[in-house]
Amino acid sequence: MNNDSASRIVAAVRDKIRTAPPGARLPSTRELVAEFGASPVTVQKALRTLAAQGLIDTRPGVGTFAVPPRTARRADYGWQTAALGSPSARSGRLSATQRASTPDTVRLHSGYPTTDLLPSRLVRAALTRAARTEQALTPAPAAGLADLQAWFAAQVAADSPAGITPPAPRDVIVTPGSQSALSSIFRALVGPGAPLLVESPTYWGAILAAEQTGVELVPVPTTPHGPDPDDLARAFDRSGARAFYAQPTFANPTGGQWSAETAESVLDVVRRHGAFLIEDDWAHDFGIDADPQPLVSRDGDGHVVHIRSLTKSVSPALRVAAVIARGPARDRLLADRAAEAMYVSGVLQAAVLDVVTQPGWDTHLRRLRPELRLRRDRLLEALRAEVPQMHVEHVPAGGLNLWARLPEGVDVDGYVRACEAGGVLIAPGSEWFPAEPTGAFVRLNFAGEAPERFSDGARILGETLRAHLPRGFAG
Amino acid sequence: MNNDSASRIVAAVRDKIRTAPPGARLPSTRELVAEFGASPVTVQKALRTLAAQGLIDTRPGVGTFAVPPRTARRADYGWQTAALGSPSARSGRLSATQRASTPDTVRLHSGYPTTDLLPSRLVRAALTRAARTEQALTPAPAAGLADLQAWFAAQVAADSPAGITPPAPRDVIVTPGSQSALSSIFRALVGPGAPLLVESPTYWGAILAAEQTGVELVPVPTTPHGPDPDDLARAFDRSGARAFYAQPTFANPTGGQWSAETAESVLDVVRRHGAFLIEDDWAHDFGIDADPQPLVSRDGDGHVVHIRSLTKSVSPALRVAAVIARGPARDRLLADRAAEAMYVSGVLQAAVLDVVTQPGWDTHLRRLRPELRLRRDRLLEALRAEVPQMHVEHVPAGGLNLWARLPEGVDVDGYVRACEAGGVLIAPGSEWFPAEPTGAFVRLNFAGEAPERFSDGARILGETLRAHLPRGFAG
């Protein structure tokens, strides 16, 4: 039985019906066999499909007839307006970082590294091996595969100083990517209507997850070296917040990294306020001139809820991240994950664990560093040469992005659209601000495009910017 | 550099430190090289690890010293009580269907079929093929892979009568399993505090998802042939609900299937009330004596929001399901999915699509039917012989479960615990009731255990029940 020829016959008979008068006799099975050069079995299958769709009526011993069409009316979804009411969060428009692109476009907008920066061979081999294991056919535990939990815990333990009890494997909850981790943390540890302190600017996905869960965002200004601890303390006092979401290491978008002193002071403020620090360690594997030093390793009392994702460094197709949380917070989070999604595909967990425990993984990370450095420096150079009015205030010591300021008065959204029309995709800075942007910023990703195309891209960014400079600009 | 020998040295030096006085001088690098037969590079790596852990202090040109230990104190999570407040939903205890079991146990509790009822060969081959594609290394679109969307849409279109415009591929949103679909639907289409009609009894995972999202459950009594449409209309009128969650086909737990007349009447009630019917078609692939006839195929105006899962029929490791929703409801749902999890692993989607489009998939489904029938009938027979006081009121025409009533007065939870102690896992019926259970029910899954063990299991269920019968029981 050939499905393709059956569908071909279905399509052809449908055409016949369209032009035939209602109730017309259709060709017999034998005639259709001859006409399409198909087997009687295939023709019967096509006729069954047409009958199931209500298009033909087969009377045994008599023949097959076209069913008079009912007038297909236009669908009416108007009733849904009353059923759904107004949406609670802002409309689900796509982030600029998720825009599709053509091969001609210079892609500086995406959040993901190009395939040649991924451990492709390890990923394909790991998936192939995982396909042969029991994990390919069984459900996984709600908190994750025990060995993968242990790996995530050991990553933190390796950095923990003496005197601090590092998290145990049971404190690890595996999630299908860090976005799910953010949603669960905001839902389970903050809750709708409750305040959540966030750096400003901060990761747009965190803003989105907070809006979805109805959490009230309270922005705290941040710098490439972290927020001012006094600002943070005041924000805790004023809002009554019990949680602060932050990216201490190679923040997205600014690329900032907190100094050891800032980290210690922030932890003190958080402890004093009986609060959680939600540490998003998204760029753990993307150090360039510095190494990540997660705050979770200095915390023994469950104040730091740590998110570590492998989606960007292992493969965007192996969506696996982990939350490390201790005490009742861990239980609250696990209950939320179980209600939201039961468990994470064991085959993805097994494949990820395979990749990160291969000797090739360390080799890959060592080779990644100079590759990222080359891309960062080449994009910086191209921007300096071609777009002198665009100012990168902080050269990031890690991560995947440059955060650049445009001259005051430039219409950022108009500029970004004009760049896209010119063939370069970049992301408007507004997406990273929980409130009004404090300047005209854009984010440029240096890992999502081949570096040979950076100078072409920068040239277009420069030409387009000159056409968008405010009147009287004398930069 | 050998990681294993470095860890060996780390462990050994840690032991030395434990027994040495604080501040004691430790062996030099050269001495360690000699002692462990390791390279200087490996020894240096071990010392760096120990220094990072705060256990040693290396003074260049002087030597290496043990750091006086800080007293490790017990973690104190007491502060979290104030930060977290009371939980909004019931505690995240595990469902009885998710209990772990030993190989000796007779497992009649689980929600999943045994591995030999899965298309294992197809799954392993599909994963291996998917590992070689681009899907193994790239992010997937938020709504799912276009070809998989088209497959899910075509499944419905094949059943749609003429005159009804079937859903288009863009009306399909791929989710990582049906639990995530339920959470998103309740969040996006009902919302916290709003009423949701549900059959009673109904799927425990739906009750859990509703509690997580803060939806207010309004139970409507149901029968093996569906709810009474007048009951349903009254519940809509009284509650003001705009949605009804139901399993018209081989319901979990009762195994019921709505008659065509009930289905049409329910759809009429739903339309008249400007409401959604959330149709959970979880057992689409598990027909035994009857075929599924999803209500979504009779709906042209977006009243039916349809959930189709492949997790149980393809593999619990390939967590892929789909929601079909039309009009603004589809947009609202897609926005929720994007905020919750961005997208579903493309490698899982590619593997699932591979499986269901192989000729072997139809063969598998054809062979599955008599296997399920054999298991259902053998378990029924064993129960009749060994547990005559347990009454299965409806022999299900599909699905994976028997829903059995115990004599009135039996303490169900105590009985289930005693059965577990005796070596048989079953699930107490209370989990399937959104309110107080209306009788002493248990659910028995006939697909999660080898049928040869059914009569042993039934014998234990019978013996245990005799010990749990209420005083004076004369059944």
Over the stretch B166-203, which tens digit does the pLDDT of each residue have? 999 999 999 999 999 999 999 999 999 999 999 999 99
Q: pTM score, two decimals?
A: 0.85
Q: Do A139 and B332 touch (CB under 8 A)?
A: no
- Mutating which of A55, A97, A137 best tests the B interface, going by the most B Cβ atoms within 10 A? A137
Q: What residues of A are in contact with residue B65 (Cβ under 8 Å)?
A: none
Task: Using an 8 Å CB-CB cutoff, list chain A residues near B316.
Answer: 137-139, 346
| Tens-digit pLDDT profile for residues B208-232 | 999 999 999 999 999 999 999 999 9
Q: What value does the mean pLDDT of chain A take?
A: 92
Mean pLDDT over A212-229 rounds to 95
- Which chain B residue lies closest to A46 (C-alpha atoms)? B158
How many CB pairs (< 8 A) connect A and B?
298
Strand B172-175 and strand A304-309: pairing?
A: unpaired
Q: What span, in angstroms and rounded, lies between the C-alpha atoms of A12 and A6?
A: 10
Q: Residues 320-349, chain A: which have Cβ within 8 Å of B?
A: 326-329, 331-332, 334-336, 338-348
3-state DSSP assignment of residue A404: strand
* Digit-coded pLDDT (tens) for A251-292: 999 999 999 999 999 999 999 999 999 999 999 999 999 999
Q: Phi-psi bin for A394: left (phi > 0), alpha (psi -120 to 50), beta?
A: beta
Pick the residue from chain A with its C-alpha nearest to B76.
A301
Among A18, A49, A56, A79, which would you mutate to test the B interface (most chain B Cβ atoms within 10 Å of its Cβ)?
Answer: A79
Interface-testing mutation among A2, A14, A42, A80, with chain B (most B C-beta atoms within 10 A): A80
B94 to A331: CB separation less than 8 angstroms, yes or no? no
Q: Is B86 on the interface with A (CB under 8 A)?
A: no
Task: Kindly state the tokens that stand for A346.
Answer: 């064991």
User: B79 vs A115: CB contact, 8 Å cut-off?
Assistant: no
The answer to whether A367 touches A122, Cβ cutoff 8 Å, is: no
**B376, A215 Cβ separation under 8 angstroms:** no
What does the pLDDT look like over A392-411, one tens digit per residue?
999 999 999 999 999 999 99
* Interchain CB contact of A208 with B (< 8 Å): yes
Confidence bin at A1 (pLDDT 50/70/90): very low
Backbone angles phi, psi at B363, to 5 degrees: -60, -45
Q: Which of B203, B340, B343, B356 to mutate to test the interface with A (most CBs of A within 10 A)?
A: B340
Q: What is the pLDDT of residue A89?
A: 64
Residue B398: pLDDT over 90: yes
ipTM of the complex: 0.85
Scanning every residue of chain B, which has its alpha carbon at the shortest distance from the alpha carbon of A362? B3
DSSP assignment string, B306-330: EEEE-TTTT-TTS--EEEE--THHH
Residue B1 pLDDT > 50, yes or no? no
Instruction: Please answer yes or no on whether B136 and A359 come within 8 Å at the CB atom.
Output: no
- Does the pLDDT of residue A180 top 50, yes or no? yes
Q: A132 at the B interface (CB within 8 A)?
A: yes
Among residues B59, B50, B58, the alpha carbon closest in space to that of B13 is found at B50
Question: From the list B3, B160, B326, which residue is nearest A75 (CB)?
Answer: B326
Total Cβ atoms within 10 A of residue B374: 13
Q: Tell me: the pLDDT tens digits for A114-144?
A: 999 999 999 999 999 999 999 999 999 999 9
Nearest 10 degrees: Cα torsion A450, A451, A456, A458: 120
Whether the Cβ atoms of residue B407 and residue B469 lie closer than 8 Å to each other? yes
Q: Is A80 within 8 Å of chain B by CB?
A: yes
Summarised one tens digit per residue, pLDDT across range B319-354 is 999 999 999 999 999 999 999 999 999 999 999 999
* pLDDT given for residue B89 in this prediction: 63
Is B3 an 8 Å CB contact of chain A? Answer: yes
How far are the Cα atoms of A111, A120, A201, A280, B225 from residue A364, in angstroms, in the given order?
A: 20, 10, 31, 23, 59
DSSP of A63-130: EEEEPPPP-PPPP--TTHHHHH-S-SS---PPPGGG----TTSEE---SS--GGGS-HHHHHHHHHHH
> If you average pLDDT over residues B261-282, what whole number do you get?
97
**Lowest-confidence segment of A233-247, A338-352, B60-74, B290-304 by average pLDDT:** B60-74
B356 touching A (Cβ < 8 Å): no
Contact criterion met (CB below 8 Å) for B287 and B369: yes
Q: How far apart are CA A144 and CA A153, in angstroms?
A: 12
